[in-house]
Amino acid sequence: MSEGLVKSVPAGFRAAGVTAGIKASGLPDMAVLAADVPCAVAGVYTTNQVCAAPVKWCRALTPCGDGRGVVINSGNANAATGEQGLADAKRTAAIAAETLGCKPEQVLVASTGVIGRLLPMPVIERGTTAAIAALSRDPAAFEAAARAIMTTDTRPKVVNLRKAIGAADVTLLGIAKGAAMIGPRMATMLGFLLTDACVRPDDLRSILAFATDVSFNCLSVEGHASTNDTVLLLASGQGKPLEGAELETFAKLVQEACQALAMAIADDGEGSTHFVTIDVLGCRTRDEARAIARTVAESALVKTAIHGADPNWGRIVSAAGYAGVPFEESQLSLSINGVVVYDRGTPAVIDEQALSASIRSQRPVDLVLQFTLGSASSRFWTCDLTAEYIHLNADYTT
């Protein structure tokens, strides 16, 4: 099963991915990421008012300096499950803690799958124990974990970076899942980042918050913010924490990893045939630029036009127009795959056939909305909307 996605495992971590039996498909559905020593942990979570039990559990525990592991299941979101759901999340942490030799409060949990169903606890208990028994520092074990957290993903999402920071040779390994219900507002789907850098919990939290904001928060498949969005960053490094310029270098490494995972999620959007990058340039603020990018990214009319290789750019400028950001039409120009189609409020003369062919011929599509309002910008990632997305989602639980 190993595709060689993982080259360098950060010191101090082991992983496992197993088949517990939650999914009817018989595919792997539980993973554990374990730290050999207490490590710094930061987390960012969904802002959905209906948030999953594991999100409530993790939110109460992070940031912290003594995390020992994360138990993750796919196939069941443990969301909208009331008090019983919270008890089940805590029970999962307690089972893992017993075997890992720590307190339940040192174990984080995450779930993804169908909303509104109670966890099958006997299955979860057996799966947790089996995964901990299988823990290994072999790269293949981390890849198995990346596969075990997948739901409708067609492939595992892994990022693996190394960088010399001061005297330290820092390794960063991240895994993520998500192909639908992707419309993060403050965090996103599931993402787990492991590093052997030594970083204080508070620094880790602010680094992760910013990295998430310029990566997972710039991502949408269909704009539906999940109940389970969780990104955790665990740092196992011992000794003197990173400071100053070294900390900034580490923060950039985390951003790079988060952006790679966010792009991988958009590129694996359910049923998609195109991966779309939207650059909104020349705005007053980054928030305004992102609001415009998000509105364009979430328009079903824009997404279906791209799917049809249809250079119907009126749908793009009209989506920008209802993003809640004031502008004059003469302050906007638009290009698609490098071709200017709308020039400061006026339609440009274009070869529609050639532009359509350029969209049809490749998976990536680039949209650039150039404003003359200021100097702030935002880059956003999404995918097109296809009949296959409809088929996948018209019959998911029953």
217 binds a second copy per the rule CB under 8 A: no
Size of the site for a second copy (CB under 8 A): 76
- Near a second copy by CB under 8 A: residue from 262, 332, 336, 373: 332
Distance, in Å, from the CA atom of 141 to the CA atom of 148, rounded to the nearest integer, reads 10
369 binds a second copy per the rule CB under 8 A: no
Of 57-65, 73-81, 92-100, 149-157, the segment contacting a second copy by CB under 8 A is: 73-81
Distance, in Å, from the CA atom of 59 to the CA atom of 62, rounded to the nearest integer, reads 6
49 binds a second copy per the rule CB under 8 A: yes
- Near a second copy by CB under 8 A: residue from 356, 358, 372, 379: 356
Structure tokens of 69?
């592991």
394 binds a second copy per the rule CB under 8 A: yes
183 binds a second copy per the rule CB under 8 A: yes
Closer to a second copy by CB, 37 or 50: give it: 50
Q: State the minimum distance, in angstroms, from the CB of residue 283 to a second copy.
A: 13
Asked if 329 and 347 touch (Cβ cutoff 8 Å), the reply is no
Q: Which residues lie closer than 8 Å to 250 by C-beta, 6 or more apart?
A: 165, 170, 195, 197, 199, 207, 242
Which residues are registered as beta bridge partners of 42? 233
329 binds a second copy per the rule CB under 8 A: yes
Residue list 227-256, contact with a second copy (CB under 8 A): 227
Which residues are registered as beta bridge partners of 32? 16, 71
274 binds a second copy per the rule CB under 8 A: no
- Near a second copy by CB under 8 A: residue from 7, 103, 162, 224: 224
Q: Which residues lie closer than 8 Å to 327 by C-beta, 6 or more apart?
A: 320, 371, 373
Q: In what order do the strands lie in the sheet with 346-347?
A: 346-347, 339-343, 332-336, 364-371, 275-283, 376-383
Residue list 282-321, contact with a second copy (CB under 8 A): 298-302, 304-305, 307-315, 317-321
Of 10-18, 104-112, 205-213, 327-335, the segment contacting a second copy by CB under 8 A is: 327-335
- For 322-376, the three-class secondary structure string (H helix, E strand, C coil) is CCCCCCCHHHEEEEECCEEEEECCEECCCCHHHHHHHHHHCCEEEEEEEECCCCE
Q: State the minimum distance, in angstroms, from the CB of residue 55 to a second copy.
A: 11
339 binds a second copy per the rule CB under 8 A: no
Structure tokens of 101?
């030799």
116 binds a second copy per the rule CB under 8 A: yes
Structure tokens of 306?
């791209």
205 binds a second copy per the rule CB under 8 A: no
Annotated catalytic residue, options 46, 92, 171, 188: 188
- 195 tagged catalytic: no
- Near a second copy by CB under 8 A: residue from 11, 114, 123, 134: 114
- Mind telling me the catalytic residues? 188
